[in-house]
Amino acid sequence: MLEIDSAEYHEARADDEYTSDRHLLLETAGYSVVHRKPRIVATRPKGFTDGIAAWLSGRTLELAAVR
């Protein structure tokens, strides 16, 4: 799961805590969760896409090993 976490959404501490709690639940259920900031997408698009591609590749290898 890829999440783009904007500062506007996480202005309130409760929003940040909700995201953290949800992240823990998803990871506990076996999902891989990656959080990125919109600034990264805007200022380093190549780095963003390369990083996501590497994450997806790693997940593919990890999931193939489970089978």
Cβ-Cβ contacts under 8 Å for 37 (sequence gap 6 or more):
4, 5, 6, 7
pLDDT of residue 41: 92
The full DSSP string for 4-65 is: E--TTTT-SHHHHHHHHHHHHHHHHTT---EEE-HHHHHH-HHHHHHHHHHHHHHHHHHHHH
Phi, psi angle pair for 47, to nearest 5°: -65, -40
Q: Is the pTM of this model over 0.75?
A: no
pLDDT per residue as tens digits for the range 19-60? 889 999 999 998 999 989 899 999 999 999 999 999 999 988
Tokens standing for residue 3: 């999440």
Instruction: Give pLDDT, residue 11.
Output: 63
